[in-house]
Every structure is written in C-alpha cells, then in structure tokens.
Amino acid sequence: MRYLLDCQIESNREIAPEQCRMTLHAPAIAHAARPGQFCMIQVSESLYPFLRRPMCFERIREDSISILYKVEGEGTHIMSRLLPGQTVGIQGPLGNGFPLDATASRHIIVAGGIGVATFPALADALVRECKIIPEVILAARSKHLILCEDEFRELGCTVHVATDDGSAGEKAYASQMLARLNPGPGTRVYACGPMIMMKTTSDVAVQAGAECLVSLEAQMACGDGACLGCVVEATRESEGERRVRVCYDGPVFDTTIIDWEAHRFAYDR
C-alpha cells in the first residue's frame, strides 16, 4: 500500500562532505516499505521546485524512515537546509524491492558512492529476517565518500573497502574487488552505484555464474510509471519489452534485463 502524507523531520544532518542523512517520523510508510523501494519527497511548500525528488529508503524502523542523499542540485540543497520539526510531503513506498529469501548460499552487496543508500535497509532485513549475513563491498573515488561502513560492521558484515585513489582500503574498482571474492553459482550479488560500476560488476557476476540484481537510479517526475521519464533500454529477453520504467518496473532489476550497451553515454569513468 502506498501513501501520500506530510511527515515530520526528526533529524537532518551532514554525515560527510555534501552527503546528508534525513530521518522522518512516518509510521504508516515504515510499516509498508521494503528494502529496495523508494519514496518521492516534496522538498518545498512552494511550487518551486515543482517535482518531487525520488529517494530510496536507507533505514526502515518501526515508526521512521531514513534517507541518504547527495547535495548537488536545487532540490537537495533545499532539503539540506530543512530543520527537525518541519514537515515534508512524502509519496510512497514506490517500486519493487529486493527479494528477501535464503535461496542463495552467499550474498554480496556492492555499493558505489551514494549508491550505498539503498543497502543498510537490505542488510538489516537479511540479518534480522533471513538470518543471513551478507558481505559488503564499499567503493568510492576517495576516503571521504565511503559511507555507512560502521553500520554494516555493526550488523556483523565483512566489509571490503575500495577507493580509486587508494586513500582507504584497497586501490581498486568495485568490480575488481568482487572478482577477488570469487562469486559463483549460488551467489546473489546486489549492486547500486554509477552505471559503469554496475555494468562492470554485472559482467563479473554473470561470467562467474552468479545471480546479479541491480538497483537503478533515474530522474523521474511521477513515480507511478505514467510519465515515462525514467525509461531505460532493456534486452529482448525482458518479456518482449525493449524499455522498462525504473519507477514502476524497478528500481530493482535482474541485470540480464538491462541493455547495458545502450547506456554507454551514462558511463562516467
């Protein structure tokens, strides 16, 4: 069930340069939400900015939800200045989510930069509901962009850190770290981050015979699949459809459904 509610901000603070965490009192949404789903947030009571901002659930508690966001545009700059006690309009939960089951014998989370935002909720659910402790790869360009490491370790996860510049963990890309962990049949890989990171991570997983689920990010206006603003190219194997909507058909997809070559323009490194 989805809701359209005004929710009160409990906290909103910077946790790293240009990276913020907002926690909102939202019992109804928290009870309905599942890891991997998202919400649309109205960041201002005025007509500007007009469109809501899509944000995945970082944490889902009994009466609250948390989101991680990068301060980089007009909407997120407004969000970063909101104070505890203020309210924002939230539509959600939206989209599908990650499957929570024990069919795989090994679970590996691969997060690139702010792509980590969807994974604390997943790791928490795997540990508490499925009694599964996933391995986690945190990759970013530099040390100050590695987020949520302590949260994963508190859940008992083995965390592997990789940075492009070698300032934390190993100097490596996420896909290289995954290859070193030797995923294979019976492994489920979860990935979110820059498109090139997800593509190369998917390549490693698929070539090793592992299942790979990716959580895509896209600009969107409605969150309901109506405006087609978040469409991405799909393979012919996706039930005859050559395009899928991130907000409605996703944001979580089996990697074999995504036509990665059609999105080469989005590769930023």
Assess whether pLDDT exceeds 60 at residue 237. Answer: no
Structure tokens at 217: 């990010």
Domain boundaries along the sequence of the chain: 3-94, 106-266
Structure tokens at 244: 């899928």
- pLDDT, residue 269, reads 42
Q: Do domains 3-94 and 106-266 have the same CATH topology?
A: no
Q: Closest Cα partner for 189 from 254, 113, 97?
A: 254
Q: Which residues contact 75 (CB under 8 A, 6 or more apart)?
A: 43, 49, 51, 53
Q: What confidence tier does 266 reach under pLDDT thresholds 50, 70, 90?
A: low
Beta bridge partners, 11, equal 23
pLDDT tens, 174-190? Answer: 999 999 999 999 999 99
Residue type, 260: W
pTM: 0.93
Would the CA dihedral through 133, 189, 23, 8 be positive or negative?
negative
Assess whether pLDDT exceeds 70 at residue 236. Answer: no
Beta bridge partners, 94, equal 38
Would the CA dihedral through 71, 27, 61, 25 be positive or negative?
positive
Q: By percentage, how much of the chain surpasses pLDDT 70?
A: 95
Asked: is 3-94 a CATH 2.40.30.10 domain? The reply is: yes
- Please state which CATH number belongs to domain 106-266: 3.40.50.80
Query: What's the average model confidence in pLDDT over 232-238?
Result: 74
Q: Which residues contact 122 (CB under 8 A, 6 or more apart)?
A: 35, 36, 98, 109, 134, 190
